[in-house]
Structure 1
Amino acid sequence: MGNLDVFIEYQIHLFIDSIFLPFLLVLGVAGNILIIIVLLKPRNRDSSTARLLLALAISDILALVISVPYKWLDTTYSINIREFSELGCKIHLFISMHVGQVFTFSILAISVERFIFLMFPYKAKTICSLRNINLVILVIQPVSLIIGGHLFYGVRLSETGKCALIQELYKVGIWRAWQILNVVGALFVPFVIMAVTNTSIIVKLISGNCTWCKCLKTKEKQKGLAVKKRSSQITVTLMIVILTFLICVIPLGIYYIMFSGQQWQHEETHRDAVILLFWSVSSGLFHTNNAVNFLIYFLSGSKFRKELKYLCCNKQTKTTQAFIEERTPSAQTVESLVKYSK
């Protein structure tokens, strides 16, 4: 791609893939590990929301670990791990697609869960029980596998050693149809559902209509309003997560619709530099979404900040107590010293 070096779009593409994405990898993996530690605390294990956020954090880590090193090696050192073998080509491309779809459906599940808790408070605990949430998380896996399972047949190493689609007919027909189906099923349908549920949630929060608070006795209203406030804080935090997802993921869907299949056919022209830049920006935004959830929880979630502070301070307190106990003489030692001094 020697001729591409003269284009500013190509230079920006190199910066994103070789510097910005590795930064996101470190930030995202560290942040999501902290999220997992907090969510696995005993006080959070019985929460349906925590269970969904745990699945989201795991999918975030997988998306970063699987995709970012691949792009970094390819851009920086021209090492494409998909080109080592045909099996590697099929497996890596399929897993990359699968993890991205699981991430999308996890965000969708969180949006629907918040909608149910605000709109149907009496039935929410039954509908969103841990058993049902676990079932949803399990169902997401085969749905994603079905959507992308054809990649085991549809791609292989070409005569030039590139991980590419098998034939021209497949590129134009089945591949194109699958890309559109993938974007519609894994992006725009979730987008419509999230738009409807989040609009309803916003209206509910603004109106301040609390159905279950109306049924409480006077003495219980204060406690009920406190519960409502905590629920609203959680909902606002999760809505920020969902809106960030929509902003960061939609450009990737647009890329797949506009340039599907063209990423394999560069001829070192300005158009190719623009396509590469569009790809880097859209995938960079996608991985930014994988990395920033920790910052969103920390900045907008007071409960998460308290849990994180408790986690850090608790460890520090235990370390300090162990240090003091190690250097403080026991009662028997003090008693023997007193006797000896006499």
Structure 2
Amino acid sequence: METNFTSVVSLCSCPGRPTNDSEECVEGLFERHSWLDILTRFDPVAVYADRVITPIWYIIGIFGNAVSFTIWQKRRMRMNNNSAYYLSALALSDLCFLLLHICMELKVAWGLRSLDQRYVCEIFMAAYYLPQYLSPMLVLGATLDRYVVVCLPFKGPLLCTKAKTIQKLFLALAFALLLCTAQAYLWQYDTQRKTCTLREETFLGRDLGTIWTWCSEMLIFFIVPLVILFINIRVIIAIWKVSLDGPVAVKKTGNNKHCVITRHESKGSTKITSTVMLLSVSFFVITLTFPATIVYAVHYAVPQGNKCLSDEEIRTDSTWQSYFTYITARKFVEEICLAHHACNFIIYYITGNKFRLAFRRLLQTAKSVLCSYKRVCAPGYAKPLALDVIRPHNTRNTKL
């Protein structure tokens, strides 16, 4: 839930927010200043955090996700490993999100009009939400596949085939598209204020915008992580049973409620290594999704102060100061939680032996290409002539 622009609008201008206004004023706080100006004046720490921390995630995430996608989509990594399909799609999704997030950051943190164009606003917001909805669904798909492999080995060959994995990826993409297309209606380019903003009439009381936003956000960023957590617990219990000394008896119940595990020493270590990596990614996503969901859910309970106060009065008003303290805390939570779109590469490298080897091979290939380029471009470099070039043209094979 890293929708920083949603934070801007929902925190300052959505109808129904609790405020301490006791009178109508001609020129309130939000008429005098833009949201970025308000933060710069009254909460500069939040602005600095946004401008300093976010670019660090861009550098780490764009490089890491690009490398991860390059490695996971290789045929060698996809052989007998359906999880590689999910992880390559996850890397591509996170990479797209970070690239789109740059456009959002230019508007929110730097005040540039990167989205303030007709049709650009609506299309961009739908595209911006797509990878946010898709990434948890991909993690859920990989977790379910791992659960089947570990806990239901007899059904693995039927449920975890390459064709079914690709079908599940397209289903996850279709579901994410279904959710995010509504954003094209919930957002609009305001021709009067010349800005991209929420369509206010859809957020009056319990209207479509409010209901849709709460349902979709809670589904993707709360219910899905809970399901992933529950499945991970089952997988951990199964791994613990496998790690016990001695063979594990194979038992199959009629209702398939209990995990069925066999002990194969030749494949067990590879399977467990892959499972540990997927568990690490899953718990990483869960750990960094719940805090962002919580701070998003409680923002309606944090009241704003009286918007009719002057700037000097706002600086000393206790309600406004409490509100800006919440904004600062929320900003740091959002910045930390942004890491789950940027740092999966680090988890892959630490927990995945095959991934480490593939990354080293990729570095060696890049190094050899770079060395060849430098050698060719070096001053005084002369390309060796072929033998047929230096052979005299009048040389003929003759018989004596």
Cα deviation 1:176-214 (Å, max 9, x = unaligned): 211221122212221221121100111111222699976
**Structure 1 residues 275, 71: closer, same or farther in 2, change over 3 A?**
farther
**Structure 1 residues 96, 283: closer, same or farther in 2, change over 3 A?**
farther
What residue is the counterpart of 1:25 in the other structure? 58
Asked whether 1:303 is paired with 2:354, we answer yes
Contact 2:103 2:114 in 1 (8 A): no
Asked whether 1:98 is paired with 2:144, we answer no
Contact 1:48 1:128 in 2 (8 A): yes
**For 2:57 and 2:217, how far apart are their aligned partners in 1?**
24
The gaps in structure 1 that reach 5 residues or longer are: 216-222, 333-342
Contact 2:136 2:225 in 1 (8 A): no
What residue is the counterpart of 2:169 in the other structure? 137
Cα deviation 1:236-284 (Å, max 9, x = unaligned): 111111111011111222233233699xx99574355345434433432
Contact 1:17 1:72 in 2 (8 A): no
**Structure 1 residues 183, 70: closer, same or farther in 2, change over 3 A?**
closer
Query: Which stretch has the larger CA shift, 23-32 or 306-315?
Result: 306-315
Identity %: 16
Q: How does 1:53-202 map to 2 (within 5 A)?
A: 53-76=87-110, 78-82=111-115, 84-158=116-190, 159-168=192-201, 170-173=203-206, 174-202=208-236
Equivalent AA in structure 2 for residue 238 of structure 1? L
**Structure 1 residues 23, 317: closer, same or farther in 2, change over 3 A?**
closer
What residue is the counterpart of 2:68 in the other structure? 35
Q: How does 1:288-299 map to 2 (within 5 A)?
A: 288-299=339-350
Which of 310, 321, 324 is the aligned partner of 1:273?
Answer: 324
**For 1:89 and 1:331, how far apart are their aligned partners in 2?**
62
Contact 2:82 2:161 in 1 (8 A): yes
**For 2:371 and 2:117, how far apart are their aligned partners in 1?**
53
The gaps in structure 2 that reach 5 residues or longer are: 1-35, 251-262, 308-313, 315-319, 376-381, 389-400
**For 1:70 and 1:212, how far apart are their aligned partners in 2?**
54
Contact 1:171 1:261 in 2 (8 A): no
Which of 286, 308, 312 is the aligned partner of 2:337?
Answer: 286
**Structure 1 residues 319, 87: closer, same or farther in 2, change over 3 A?**
closer
Q: Partner of 2:139: helix, strand, or coil?
A: helix
Equivalent AA in structure 2 for residue 58 of structure 1? L
Equivalent AA in structure 2 for residue 249 of structure 1? T
By how many angstroms is 1:108 displaced?
0.9
Contact 1:13 1:280 in 2 (8 A): yes
Q: How does 1:176-325 map to 2 (within 5 A)?
A: 176-208=210-242, 224-259=264-299, 269-313=320-364, 316=367
**Structure 1 residues 72, 13: closer, same or farther in 2, change over 3 A?**
farther
Contact 2:188 2:197 in 1 (8 A): yes
By how many angstroms is 1:21 displaced?
0.7
Equivalent AA in structure 1 for residue 139 of structure 2? I
**Structure 1 residues 95, 318: closer, same or farther in 2, change over 3 A?**
closer
**For 2:298 and 2:235, how far apart are their aligned partners in 1?**
33
Cα deviation 1:150-181 (Å, max 9, x = unaligned): 22222223433343332356243222211221
Contact 2:117 2:195 in 1 (8 A): no
**For 2:174 and 2:148, how far apart are their aligned partners in 1?**
24
Instruction: Flag the structure with higher helix content.
Output: 1
**Structure 1 residues 18, 59: closer, same or farther in 2, change over 3 A?**
same
**Structure 1 residues 280, 93: closer, same or farther in 2, change over 3 A?**
farther
Contact 1:4 1:270 in 2 (8 A): no
By how many angstroms is 1:224 displaced?
3.1
Equivalent AA in structure 2 for residue 237 of structure 1? M
What residue is the counterpart of 2:48 in the other structure? 15
TM-score, L = length of structure 2:
0.70
**For 1:163 and 1:329, how far apart are their aligned partners in 2?**
62
TM-score, L = length of structure 1:
0.81
- What's the C-alpha RMSD, in Å, of the aligned pairs? 3.7
**Structure 1 residues 289, 330: closer, same or farther in 2, change over 3 A?**
same
**For 2:230 and 2:56, how far apart are their aligned partners in 1?**
34
**For 2:372 and 2:332, how far apart are their aligned partners in 1?**
49
Q: Partner of 2:194: helix, strand, or coil?
A: coil
